[in-house]
Amino acid sequence: MTSPAFPAVVRVVDSHTEGEPTRVVVDGWRQPAGSTMEARRDDLAAHWDHLRSAVVCEPRGHNAMVGALLTPPVSAGAAAGVIFFNNVGYLGMCGHGTIGVVRTLEHLGRIQIGQVRLDTPVGAVSAELAEDGSVTIRNVPSYCHAKDVAVDLPGLGRVVGDVAYGGNWFFLTHLEGMDVSLGNVDALTRVTLAIMEALRRQGVTGASGAEIDHVELAAPPARPDADGRNFVLCPGGAYDRSPCGTGTSAVMAALHARGKLAVGARWRQESVTGSLFTGWLEASEGQLIPHIRGMAYVTGEATLRFDPTDPFRAGFTAAG
Ligand code: PYC
């Protein structure tokens, strides 16, 4: 067996968006082949998956780290393409990651205050970087696919929730009396993993059989300036430290489908860490376009090395 190829070094810029980390690859990683972002993501998965795990998993990263590979754009007017990935695979879109990418591009001097468009495997997203450093993303169209879907958890009983799309597929539910706080993340992780397994066992999917790979629990807010608090389990078993951009998009689409959130009305989503995104829906050509506003902060720049004698140079994760 030939060992996988590694570049000499990969340069990254780290940031966090309302608590959730993003590691943007800015140099060193050979560009994936393909003329669409989907084809490029598939090329990465087929030929460079060892680099995905090397960059975001231990010992260089950890299970909650989301990576973002910048590529040349595929559509006119876009500043760059971006492929998001995590400890187990690839994300269609990533809201907190997009906010992190925008702040990183500003940090690198590649963009200024104002509008920027990025291509992703699930479509183009635009973002506005404001003077105060906040970033507002205009996400891909979102919708509620199915309401009141029941899943049975062994030993825990029946859980009912909505299946909604916000750039990734979500099962949105709440568990009466569940403490949605940082002190309870082990129990929250256990129960949301059980829900994820039950969805798979019972064949509950998004549109066209798409896998539901995020589970979101809603709870009353702890902050006086928030409308709801959440706990979001991501693919790979880590929880989102931010309020989750694609999750907030899915929640707003589901609330709208229930007549509980009007187009344009603000939805202030608090995370399990107490951070906040502000979102709203725009109606455009029969579709609901979520807008999500939050803050990201650059936390570091690093040059990653891949010693050929290192047995862990491709990274490792307990999740995969
Ligand atoms: O902000 O959309 C998001 C996200 C997805 C997974 C982690 N963060």
From 23, 62, 83, 96, give the residue whose CB has the most ligand 1 atoms within 8 Å, as the site to mutate: 96
Give the DSSP H or E segment for 51: helix 49-56
Q: Which atom of ligand 1 is nearest to the CA of 234?
A: 6
Whether ligand 1 lies within 6 angstroms of the CB of 22 is answered as no
pLDDT at 320: 44
Q: What CA–CA distances, in Å, run from 127 to 79, 122, 256, 260, 283?
A: 11, 15, 23, 26, 17
- Spacing, Cα 258 to ligand 1 middle (Å): 24
User: What is the model's pTM?
Assistant: 0.97
d(CA 303, CA 301): 7
Catalytic residues: 94, 244
Whether ligand 1 lies within 6 angstroms of the CB of 228 is answered as no
- Spacing, Cα 98 to ligand 1 middle (Å): 9
d(CA 194, CA 197): 5
- Spacing, Cα 34 to ligand 1 middle (Å): 25
Whether ligand 1 lies within 6 angstroms of the CB of 290 is answered as no
Strand partners, 142: 288
162-191 in b/e form (b: 16+ CB < 10 A) is bbbbbbbbbbbbbbeeeebeeeebeebeeb
Per-residue pLDDT of the chain (320 residues; tens, 9 = 90+): 456 889 999 999 999 999 999 999 999 998 999 999 999 999 999 999 999 999 999 999 999 999 999 999 999 999 999 999 999 999 989 999 999 999 999 999 999 999 999 999 999 999 999 999 999 999 999 999 999 999 999 888 999 999 999 999 999 999 999 999 999 999 999 999 999 999 999 999 999 999 999 999 999 999 999 999 999 999 999 999 999 999 999 999 999 999 999 999 999 999 999 999 999 999 999 999 999 999 999 999 999 999 999 999 999 998 74
The dihedral built from the CA positions of residue 199, 188, 52 and 246, taken in this order, carries a sign that is: positive
Whether ligand 1 lies within 6 angstroms of the CB of 175 is answered as no
- Spacing, Cα 222 to ligand 1 middle (Å): 21
